[in-house]
């Protein structure tokens, strides 16, 4: 299969932990198949990229932390993009972000990347 572009839009955050693991799981799987995978964190999703937060969030009690799902995606080559307006919404600054969240983008990123992607998943 030819490599395609996949965009995962992450709006869910610590307030809805049961929705937080699957996006990383699907992104990791797509990257493992050789696809170009990006995750766009906006709204409450940006909170997961704050240092120390993902380690405390679990989709299921007794399960893996969201940070562990996130680490699998990072190791598979998934790129993380963060909405700059969402940082303001969540009282965060770029200094609050984990090292792997090195792509700070504006509001047009979602439209542009979405239009050039072969598949867009939203959580």
0.85 cut: is pTM over it?
yes
Q: What is the pLDDT of residues 62-119, one digit of tens each?
A: 999 999 999 999 999 999 999 999 999 999 999 999 999 989 999 899 999 999 999 9
What is 5-122's CATH number? 3.40.1260.10
The reported pLDDT for the residue numbered 102 is 81
Q: What is the pLDDT of residues 5-51, one digit of tens each?
A: 999 999 999 999 999 999 999 999 999 999 999 999 999 999 999 99
Three-state SS annotation for the chain: CCCCEEEEEECCCCCCHHHCHHHHHHHHHHHHCCCEEEEEECHHHHHHHECCCHHHCECCCCCCEHHHHHHHHHHHCCEEEEEHHHHHHCCCCHHHECCCCCEEECCHHHHHHHHHCCEEEEC
Query: Both tokens of residue 42?
Result: 């906006």
Is 80 exceeded by the pLDDT of residue 1? no
């Amino acid at each position: 299969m030819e490599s395609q572009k996949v965009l995962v839009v992450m709006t869910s955050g610590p307030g809805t932990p049961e929705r937080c693991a699957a996006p990383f799981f699907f992104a990791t799987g797509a990257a493992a198949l050789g696809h170009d995978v990006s995750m766009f964190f906006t709204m409450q999703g940006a909170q997961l990229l704050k240092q120390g937060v993902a380690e405390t969030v679990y989709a299921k009690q007794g399960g893996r932390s969201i940070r562990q799902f996130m680490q699998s995606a990072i190791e598979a080559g998934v790129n993380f993009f963060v909405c700059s307006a969402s940082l303001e919404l969540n009282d965060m600054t770029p200094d609050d972000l984990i090292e792997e969240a090195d792509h700070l983008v504006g509001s047009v990123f979602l439209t542009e990347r979405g239009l050039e992607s072969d598949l867009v998943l939203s959580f």
